[in-house]
Structure 1
Amino acid sequence: MAKLKQWGKYILIAFIAFYLLTQPESAAGVIHSGLGGIMDGAESLSRFVNALGA
């Protein structure tokens, strides 16, 4: 089972590298969208915590 997990990690890394090399614009869009979502979530959490203190 440990070998299967190890191979899975290698396959995932190879897929990500292939995706980045063959479609860099699309990969950048995915990263940009993901980071935008994280930033929106952090901002919402910040507003919530500030509202608790007010």
Structure 2
Amino acid sequence: MEQVISRLGISPATARRDINKLDESGRLKKVRNGAEAISEQRPRWSPMNIHQGAKP
């Protein structure tokens, strides 16, 4: 967390709020005293992704 605060020049409250929002949106994983990048295991595009919203 300290690294985020110092690199971005933001307050601890802003860092916590932004990390919470990014965690909720699935863009990173919130961990004690900071966050971890999420490695994407599946491709962003696949036929399965396209057809999930289709009605039979």
State the TM-score, normalized to the length of structure 2.
0.32
Bigger Cα Rg? 1
More contact order relative to length (CA 8 Å, sep ≥ 6): 2
State the TM-score, normalized to the length of structure 1.
0.33
More helix by share: 1
More strand by share: 2
